[in-house]
Amino acid sequence: MNRFHRGLALGLFALGAAALLPARAEPAAPAPTLYQQLGGAPAIAKVIDDFVGIVAADSRINFQFAKTDIPRLKQLLREQFGQALGGPERYSGRDMKSSHAGLGITNAQFNALAENLYEALNRNGVPYRVQNVILAKLAPLQPDVVER
């Protein structure tokens, strides 16, 4: 084989080998946040509206909200949920401990509130897996909310 043919053969071999290499993989898109999975701000607003309505009808806990500014409560809940679920919102309210100080909230009342949230999430078709993650993110608030 002369020099020309040897060079041509090596070049063709290199091209063939390169064709067999896997293509450079594009980086995988990041997994959607809980905020995105839920449907963003409009979906969170709907869940919060339903949640507050369910709480208002629940005699186990509705008395705790008798003097509450409901529009402000809804706004703060939208901020809190949005931030906790990876959205752009930032919670502008007081910390949970000072917000609930002196209310005498019990474990039973906290659990009733969690049940109401679960019902609101169900009403809005939030998948069970996502519901569990949301509730798990909110559970650490219990020690700051419950006083007795």
Report how many domains make up the chain.
1
Q: Which two tokens stand for residue 74?
A: 């809804």
pLDDT in tens, 103-138: 999 999 999 999 999 999 999 999 998 899 888 988
Instruction: Say how far apart CA 21 and CA 64 lie, in whole Å.
Output: 66
CATH number of domain containing 70: 1.10.490.10
Q: What is the pLDDT of residue 40?
A: 96
Q: What is the pLDDT of residue 4?
A: 47
pLDDT in tens, 81-108: 999 999 999 999 999 999 999 999 999 9
Query: Domain range holding 55?
Result: 32-145
Q: What is the pLDDT of residue 137?
A: 87
- Element containing residue 135 per DSSP (H, E): helix 128-138
Query: Is the residue at 49 inside a domain?
Result: yes
Residue 10 has pLDDT above 60, yes or no: no
Residue pointed to by tokens 């219990």 = 142
The answer to whether 103 and 64 have CB atoms below 8 angstroms apart is yes
The answer to whether 60 and 108 have CB atoms below 8 angstroms apart is yes
Residue 116's CB is within 10 A of a number of other CB atoms, namely 22
Query: Is the residue at 91 inside a domain?
Result: yes
pTM over 0.85: no
Binding site annotation covers 5?
Answer: no
List of residues 6+ apart from 48 with CB closer than 8 A: 74, 77, 78, 81, 120
